[in-house]
Amino acid sequence: MGYWNKPDATAAQIKDGWLLTGDIGRMDEDGYFYILDRKKDMINVSGFKVYPREVEDVLFEHEAIENAAVIGIPDPETKGSDIVKAYVVLKEGFKGSEELIGEIREFLRKNVSPYKVPKSIEFRKELPETLVGKVLRRDLKEQEMGPEQ
């Protein structure tokens, strides 16, 4: 079991017979498990953990938003910390503006902790997706910072 011709990748993912998926989850008081996000997608904002999916789920509730993706980009002012950036595709009939960015931020402030509110919101006509429609966050990160990330 493992990755074809990639012993280092296999060693990193399989420990003592366990497959480390990289998923982050939680268990509620009734013993039910919930997948929160992927460890590699977690954003570190001054030591606070931000799971992109949590912010995206709230963004999807906004009346103007058709699709959204959230990534972390290095904070130039705080070493080892990220800032939250959201990419947003608007529904037909809505137009991107500074006013709408303010409305989206205010909507988020009412629904998530302040450190989870994106410092940067960028409107896009579309987001990079897999063939089954899953947003490719790594492509957004590469577009933002280059292919080495």
Least confident of 5-9, 70-74, 117-121, 127-131: 5-9
* pLDDT (average), residues 21-34: 90
* Residues in the chain, overall count: 149
Q: How would residue 23 be classed by pLDDT, with cut points 50, 70 and 90?
A: confident
Give the Cα separation of 75 and 48 in Å (integer): 13
- Torsion, Cα of 54, 72, 90, 101 (10° steps): 100
Q: Which domains does the chain have, with CATH numbers?
A: 40-145 (3.30.300.30)
pTM of the model: 0.82
Quick: pLDDT tens for 43-91: 999 999 999 999 999 999 999 999 999 999 999 999 999 999 999 999 9
- The token pair at 126 is 């579309």
